[in-house]
A = this chain, B = another copy of it.
Amino acid sequence: MSSEFGRILRVGVFGQSHGKAIGVTLDGLPAGEAVDLEELQRFLGRRRPGNSPLSTARKETDVPEFLSGLENGRTCGAPLCAVIRNSDQHSGDYAELADKPRPGHADYTAWVKWGGQADMRGGGHFSGRLTAPLCVAGGIAKQILARRGVFVGAHLDAVAGERDRPFPLYPTAELFAEVAAKPFPVLDDGAGERMRDAILAAKGDLDSVGGVIECAAVGLPAGLGDPMFDGVENRLAATLFGIPAVKGVEFGAGFAAAEWRGSRNNDEFTVENGRLRARTNHAGGILGGITTGMPLVLRVAVKPTPSIGRAQRTVRLSRMEDGELTIHGRHDPCVAHRAVPVVEAVTAAVLLDMLLEGNHGTF
């Protein structure tokens, strides 16, 4: 059950990094929804490693083939299956790793769990490559949401301690589009320069860096979600932690709020144009697990890429003795910037699922 999420809209990801193909199934999409394949391809392009020195040199075309669920460019009620063939496979690079688990990777835990049966070439099913089919799902979800006035966007909030400025109190679809069109997804391009420098510096040191992504959704109705274990936070967090390298999730002020007093953290209410608004949004648009109608705001911590060029100490599993490992091959000195559309994708898919649960428990 590891590779699926959602309740009305079930999203399931399959494939291994160096297998024949990766892909995604979406069961429960509303029927009759147009899917703009060019727009989807642009969205996938934001995740893809390019010719930039900031990313792996691995070439991925990432053009999905739709096997089912789409007829004449529209969803048809049946489960959608999209497949992306793997092409650029250098699995020879991974021979040594079978016996020497990479620090910070799932090699060791996969070995414990599946006793060497797992296909761990390139990270296997744990690979960041699996975020491509996630983006197919989320890209479709984003199109469906946008037609109903719900927009999801994200930017790189921090890399290696260099901070972008945060989203404004009311981010807009236009702002989201503007960031998405940039080669490096930040609000403040100066901060972006400093982040790039930090990435290249780490790369020069055969090292890597992590980052933080801020994601927001606007246009959500108030009243979405349920108290306790089925709230918006619960369901988003459960899924966001499925993105490889994510180690923390917070909503609104999050961990910062833990240092504040209530008088600072509480979002006072006011009436604006006949509608209730919060004067601040430290709650990130969620109170008691339920949307307030203010923008949904969350932040995700992405750890530094575990694959680094430096020699690292590890264990030779076959002999259970200490050993050393130098990872060759092509690796991203940072994955946080490429994870920006992935966080959008997951957020959009979860929100669409929750909206599809219908008029929220009434009929």
Contact = CB atoms under 8 A, between A and B. Distances in A.
Given A21-B68, A119-B78, A248-B251, A27 B4 contact: yes
A123 B74 CA distance: 18
A256 to B, nearest CB: 8
Interface in A1-47: 1-8, 10, 12-16, 19-23, 25, 27-28, 30-32
A303 interface: yes
A302 B256 CA distance: 10
Nearest to A246: B233
Interface residues of A, number: 156
A104 to B, nearest CB: 4
A21 B154 CA distance: 35
Interface string A51-90: 0000000000000011111010011111111010000000
Interface string A276-315: 1011001110111111110000000111111110101111
A124 interface: yes
Copies in the complex: 4
Interface in A242-270: 242, 244, 246-255, 257-270
A247 B284 contact: yes
A363 to B, nearest CB: 5
B108 A287 contact: yes
A356 interface: yes
Contacts of A80: 14
Interface in A106-138: 106, 108-110, 112-115, 117-119, 124-126, 130
Contacts of A265: 104, 210, 303-304, 306
A25 B8 contact: no
Q: Which 10 A-B pairs have the closest CB atoms?
A: A358-B358, A106-B288, A2-B226, A248-B250, A78-B125, A32-B117, A238-B238, A109-B290, A208-B262, A262-B304
